[in-house]
């Protein structure tokens, strides 16, 4: 019985620039989503604490103008 060894060479090219860009986009999108969620939660809490959107605007204007 005769055996033969066969060698194969596999070459794979990975575009590292595209992978880095994709990672950056995902990171920025995640940060944006977290900031947006935080902003919405803060605004909703402020509206509940002041009694509604009109009261919130009055309270904000009073704080800005020093009234």
Residue 18: the pLDDT is: 79
pLDDT digits (tens, 9 = 90+) for 46-67: 999 999 999 999 998 999 999 7
pTM over 0.85: no
CA distance 33 to 51: 27
Count of C-beta atoms within a 10 Å radius of residue 39? 10
């Amino acid at each position: 019985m005769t055996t033969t060894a066969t060698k194969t060479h596999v070459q794979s090219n990975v575009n590292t620039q595209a992978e880095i860009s994709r990672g950056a986009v995902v990171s920025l999108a995640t940060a944006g989503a977290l900031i947006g969620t935080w902003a919405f939660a803060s605004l909703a809490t402020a509206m509940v604490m002041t009694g509604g959107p009109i009261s919130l605007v009055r309270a904000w204007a009073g704080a800005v103008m020093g009234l």
